[in-house]
Amino acid sequence: MIETKRWNVDTNKEQNERMIIEAANELTSGGTVAFPTETVYGLGADATNEEAVAKIFKAKGRPQDNPLIAHVATKEQLMQLVNDVPAYVDKLIETFSPGPITYVLTSNGTSAANVTAGLSTVGVRIPSHPVALALLRACNTPIAAPSANLSGKPSPTTADHVWEDLAGRINGLVDGGPTGVGVESTVVDCTQDIPIILRPGGISKEELEEVVGTVMVDPALLHADSKEKPKAPGMKYRHYSPDVPMWLVEGGSARLQAVYDELVAEGKQVGILANRNTLEKLEVQQSISLGESLEDVAASLYDGLRKYKQGDVDIILCETYPQIGIGQAIMNRLKKAASRYVEE
Ligand code: TXA
Ligand code: MG
């Protein structure tokens, strides 16, 4: 067990600055600190310090072959980590960074070998959360940061989620309140002539295409039974698993009610995850609302998945969402979190 310091940055400005400097000192001296980004909380360590980065893998129980994203505050710092940047990346940075997008580019070797898990490429992103940016500026070194959850669990969207998973395993936690987007950044392979989405996320395919024309999607993402090996190593692992099994149910509220009724008749305790309109049509005992819009669902999804604990319910039923805009990221995560897909 290590002592995990906790800084609460919703007080006054002067105190915030002091806390950010303390947290930055922890990072630049080789420690691990979790911090909010606009997507999910990240668990940071100095990306140029192999020993520090190793602590991230240990704290999360993360497979060694899964590379980390390097976080920086500016485009200049981003360019200091990579070679051979295609022209379309300038356009993407101009439009979407700071923001929920990660560029996979040829590494120039500045990042520690365990950041890239031995690959020749490195994922780099500029988060837009003011606390993340302040921390990155104060560190003045790239910070490697995966989502700040135990490997296999849903990503953390509040400081309490991080605490639940990692207290006693990391050096610090900067509490900046709930994150905004709620699903992770879009990971884009920018080493080819045409950008390729390796992980759908906060910026949708449609939004990318408005700026750079054609965008491809890693074939391994399109077919669950694909023989293709995903190009983002992290995408091959099951992920986001709640405490109890979750079934993803196609076919809207009527189908959800029918599956619910069957399970209840078998004596099961069932919890529902669905948006408000769906819940209004259901007759169920336990439910968590994910809000109304797809953006609401993205923001509240991981919290919803974490809320149902063993003992509360035997099974979670969640509805499916249209794969448009951020719906692509939502369905990608839900399919990974689900132990069963109930087709219409
Ligand atoms: O929004 C986010 O991206 C959050 C916040 C904290 O920034 N971070 C995050 O990191 O989601 P993580 O480690 O949970 O997911 C990173 C994903 C993994 O699927 C990983 O395999 C992929 O990005 N990735 C990282 N570097 C890569 C590379 N060089 N080539 C291909 N995929 C890479
Ligand atoms: Mg993760």
* Cα 22 to middle of ligand 1, angstroms: 26
Is this structure's pTM higher than 0.85?
A: yes
User: Which has the closest alpha carbon to 199: 248, 236, 158?
Assistant: 236
pLDDT in tens, 3-34: 999 999 976 788 899 999 999 999 999 999 99
Say whether pLDDT at 283 is over 80.
yes
Q: Can you tell me the mean pLDDT for 91-101?
A: 98
Instruction: Please give the pLDDT value at position 224.
Output: 59
Give tens-digit pLDDT for 302-334.
Answer: 999 999 999 999 999 999 999 999 999 999 999
Q: 146 alpha carbon to ligand 2 midpoint, in Å?
A: 6
**Can you give the pLDDT at residue 344?**
86
- From CA 251, how far away is CA 318, in angstroms rounded? 11
Taking 80 as the threshold, does the pLDDT of residue 238 lie above it?
A: no
User: What pLDDT is recorded for position 135?
Assistant: 98
Q: Are 120 and 107 within 8 A, CB to CB? A: yes
- Residue 227 pLDDT level (bands cut at 50, 70, 90): low
Decide: 111 in ligand 1 pocket, CB within 6 A: no
- Amino acid 259 reads V
Beta bridge partners of 173: 6, 34
For residue 220, what is the enclosing H or E element?
A: helix 219-222
Q: Is 119 in the pocket of ligand 1 (CB under 6 A)?
A: yes
Nearest to 279 by CA among 267, 261, 291, 270: 291
Q: Which atom of ligand 1 is nearest to the CA of 71?
A: 7
Domains of the chain with CATH codes = 5-222 (3.90.870.10), 246-342 (3.40.50.11030)
121 assigned binding-site residue: yes
pLDDT at site 236: 75
Which has the closest alpha carbon to 64: 127, 3, 119?
119
Kindly state if the Cβ of 147 falls inside 6 Å of ligand 1. Answer: yes
- Say yes or no to pLDDT of 235 above 80: no
Query: Which residues are CB-contacts of 142 (< 8 A; sequence separation ≥ 6)?
Result: 46, 47, 48, 70, 71, 72, 77, 81, 110, 111, 124
Any ligand 1 atom below 6 A from CB of 146: yes
Per-residue model confidence (pLDDT) at position 222: 78
